[in-house]
Structure formats: C-alpha cells, structure tokens
Homo-oligomer: A and B are copies of this chain.
Amino acid sequence: MARRKIQIGLAGLGNVGMGVYANLSKNAALLSQRCQADLDITRIAVRDASKARNRAVPADLLTESWQDLIDDDAIDVVVELIGGVDQAKTLVTAALRRKKVVVTGNKALLAEHGQEIFSLAQEMEVPVYFEAAVAGGIPIIKAVQESLVGNAIRMISGIINGTCNYILTKMREEGWSYQEALKEAQALGYAEADPTLDVNGWDAGHKAVLLASLASGRWVAADQIHVEGVEDIRLGDLRFVETLGYAVKLLAVIRCADDEPMEVRVQPCLVPKSHLLASVNGVFNAVMVEGDLVGETLFYGSGAGQDPTSSSVIADIVDAAVGLQHEEKRGYVPSSELAAVKPIADTISQYYLRLHVDNRPGVLAHIAQITARHDIGIMSVIQPESTGETADLVLMLDHAPFGSVQQALAEIRELESTSDDMTLLRMESFEESP
C-alpha cells in the first residue's frame, strides 16, 4: 500500500501541545519506520501567535483561529489540546461535522459531553481517540477498549491524579502539612496555578467517568458519581494510618456487577501497604483493572507531564493514521444509553474513623451504642495517645453502607464528649463487595 501523508491540525500549543509538536519531529525517523503513513503537522491554532515560546515553531504554521483547522479540507486529524470545556466542545463538534478524526486529551470535555460527542462521531462515522485524557502516558484506554475487550470488567481502582498523590506522598515522607505539599507541587509545575480540580478530586472524577463508561459500556453521568478530594487530609491521620499498616491514597473506585447499579466514586482510602497501589508514590499514576478472564492487572506510569502525555497523543495520531488508511474505527465506545449508578449511601466498605473525644470513661460506650443502632460492627478500637483531657480515638469499622456510617457520624458529632475534629476514610480491600 502506498504511503499516505496524514495532515494534522493541532489546536493548542501549551505544555502537551508543544510536546506533541517537538516529539513528532524528534522521533520522526522511528515513526516513519513503524507507521505506514507520514505524519505532518500542517497547522497549529494558538491563542497568541506572537507569544515567545521556548522552542521555535515556523510562523507560517501558526494561526490564531482554530476555525482555520476546520476549514482546511486537507487536514485529516484535529488534535484538541486547548483544554476547558465550552470552546473545546465547539471545536471538536465542528471537526466531527467536517468528518475529521479527533484526538483529544480533554477529560473534562468527554466526562461532561462524551455521550453527545460520541453520538455525533458515530453519526459522522469518524473516530475520537482520547488515550491522553486518562493517566497521562499510561495506555489505559487502549488496554480497556482493546486488550481486555473479551473481559467483563469487574473493578477498576486507580491513582489517577498525580498532584494529589504527590501531596499525600510528601506529607507522609517529609512530614509536610497539606498546604506546604500543595505549594511545592505548584512550584514544581505538578499542580495548576488554580489547583481546585486536582485537590477537590474532580480531575480524578472526570477520568473515573471515562473509565466507568468504558467498563460498563454505557455513559456514566458525571453528576451521578461521588467525589471527595484531599483537602481535608490531616498529617496526623496519615501517620497513624501508617502505623496500622496502611497508606492513604486518593482512589477512583469503579465496581461493576451483573444486574446491579455500578459503583463509581473518588475518595481518599486506606490501602494495605503490601498492595502494589500503596507503592505508587509521587506524581506517578497506576490503574488496577480486574476482568472476569484476565483477573487482576495493573498499569503504572507517569500520569502527567509534557513527554509522557505526548506519548499517548502520538499513539492516538498513529491510530488515526492507520484508521484513515483503512476507513476503520477502533475500540468500542460506550453506547449512548446512561449507566445506572449506585447511590454513594449504598456503597459498602470497611472504614477508619478517627474521633477526638473527652478522655474519660463512658465515651466509648456512647459511641458504640450509636454504631450498634446503625448496625455497624466495630473491628477494633485504638487510642493512639491519651494525655490530657481530650484524646484521639480510632475505630476500625466493619463492612457497612456509607450512608449508615454517615448517619452514625452525624449522631456521634452531636455527643457532648466529641469534637468536630474527625476523619472518616474508607478501607479498600480490592475484593468483591461483600
């Protein structure tokens, strides 16, 4: 088959966009051997063409209007790396309407409008590739869409926000406060100037929506999932949890069972130190996928960064090029139906509950009465330190619905002997729900 030239319109020349531009050129010889097409960046849309960049880009490639990418009939593939939701959506839908293949790393866009975008893509018979939208350089999308295609996916459980993982790692290793760790993450460029979506869990939440949708085969509505971040994590809890043999990780947890609504949530969780996920530190990401045939698998790598993320975008561009040569659409996508998501109150696990209570007899009895009333078993009670009039009190709670635990907690909070300073963390066993 004759080599075809694939013309690429790149929208966005920020961190990842520049990585894609530079690395397509750096590894051009290798890509030329491996891919039976020539990959050519024909046009680059940027906000400000006159802006100084740390790498020279020929001026005639640049345009300040992304509409130029859409209007250019020679452009086969539009790579959307502008971020944000509204403008990106306009760009992506315009590209699909002109039957251009779309490559995007935009998790927020797909989590919020994936159903609509993939319906349009199906109608126009062009594919949308989005490997870079989840876990940076880790090829988790292709793994689920293609490599594990023969499996019913039972569970996905992953560390998919590098900023939060960096913060939790540094708090534990260096004894930094949450604020100190966040500041360092920003200084190192791991967190955005506005890190809200990272630390409140919603960056991971958007990624969880995409993974859950692939796992279930139906779109998961972003407003149906439960998301917590790391803002309220206390250094004291991290340390105490460690003495118990656990690490705290911000986990996206997805469980699918037959004929039951699925579980999709992002929460800080206790992970046994012996588990591989507990060894994933700093800005690294890892995603565990459990399929009915393959059993337990784990995919580990850089969850962000210019070069790793460009590795995923370039793989998508090569897939797009192969597809264009053969008029082929790869990888199943969720159907346009919505998946049923279990209310977070009904999800079950064990829990770590740290309270701060008056240091006197009878307090535990009150608390135990409340948990018993809500049918929550106590596996163990630990009092880390008990000097002074008040003391921390840690309860390890047995499997119970999150809703029951929250109700019990509301009552415990009302006790005179208990202060508002408390931490509730789930414990992840990575086993089937009981």
B294, A302: Cβ atoms under 8 Å?
yes
Q: For A291, list chain B residues within 8 Å (CB).
A: 311
Q: Which of B27, B296, B298, B330 contacts A293 (CB 8 A)?
A: B27
Q: How far is the CB of A429 from chain B (nearest CB, A)?
A: 18
Q: How far is the CB of A37 from chain B (nearest CB, A)?
A: 12
Decide yes or no whether A199 CB sits under 8 A from chain B.
Answer: no
Q: For A217, list chain B residues within 8 Å (CB).
A: 30, 33-34
Decide yes or no whether A420 CB sits under 8 A from chain B.
Answer: no
- Of all chain B residues, the one with the shortest Cβ separation from A29 is B152
- Of all chain B residues, the one with the shortest Cβ separation from A33 is B217
Decide yes or no whether A139 CB sits under 8 A from chain B.
Answer: yes
Decide yes or no whether A326 CB sits under 8 A from chain B.
Answer: yes
Q: How far is the CB of A321 from chain B (nearest CB, A)?
A: 10
CA distance A325 to B322 in the complex (A): 14
B150, A318: Cβ atoms under 8 Å?
yes
A293, B33: Cβ atoms under 8 Å?
no
B301, A294: Cβ atoms under 8 Å?
yes
CA distance A308 to B33 in the complex (A): 32
A137, B311: Cβ atoms under 8 Å?
no
Annotate A267-294 by CB proximity to B: 1 below 8 A, 0 otherwise: 0000000101001000000100001111
CA distance A279 to B275 in the complex (A): 8
B296, A150: Cβ atoms under 8 Å?
no
A299-B299, A328-B328 known; A149+B293 contact, CB < 8 A: no
Decide yes or no whether A69 CB sits under 8 A from chain B.
Answer: no
B294, A308: Cβ atoms under 8 Å?
yes
Q: Which of B33, B149, B297, B332 contacts A301 (CB 8 A)?
A: B297
Q: For A311, list chain B residues within 8 Å (CB).
A: 148, 150-151, 291, 293-294
- Of all chain B residues, the one with the shortest Cβ separation from A290 is B301
- Of all chain B residues, the one with the shortest Cβ separation from A301 is B297
Q: How many residues of A contact B (CB 8 A)?
A: 57
A35, B332: Cβ atoms under 8 Å?
yes
Q: For A139, list chain B residues within 8 Å (CB).
A: 143, 146-148
A302, B308: Cβ atoms under 8 Å?
no
A152, B301: Cβ atoms under 8 Å?
no
Decide yes or no whether A335 CB sits under 8 A from chain B.
Answer: yes
A315, B146: Cβ atoms under 8 Å?
yes
Q: For A30, list chain B residues within 8 Å (CB).
A: 150, 152, 217
CA distance A151 to B137 in the complex (A): 11
Q: For A152, list chain B residues within 8 Å (CB).
A: 27, 30
CA distance A60 to B31 in the complex (A): 47
- Of all chain B residues, the one with the shortest Cβ separation from A288 is B300
Decide yes or no whether A314 CB sits under 8 A from chain B.
Answer: yes
- Of all chain B residues, the one with the shortest Cβ separation from A214 is B34
Provide 6 A-B residue pairs closer than 8 Å at the C-beta atoms, listed in order of the A residue. Answer: A27-B151, A31-B149, A137-B294, A286-B298, A293-B307, A295-B308
17 more contacts with CB within 8 A, not counting A148-B315, A293-B311, are: A27-B292, A31-B149, A33-B332, A34-B332, A35-B149, A137-B295, A143-B143, A147-B315, A149-B318, A150-B310, A151-B311, A286-B298, A295-B301, A297-B302, A298-B299, A298-B300, A328-B328
Which residues does A use to contact B, with CB under 8 Å?
19, 23-24, 27, 30-31, 33-35, 131, 137-139, 142-143, 146-152, 217, 274, 276, 279, 286, 291-302, 305, 307-308, 310-312, 314-315, 318-319, 322, 325-328, 330, 332, 335
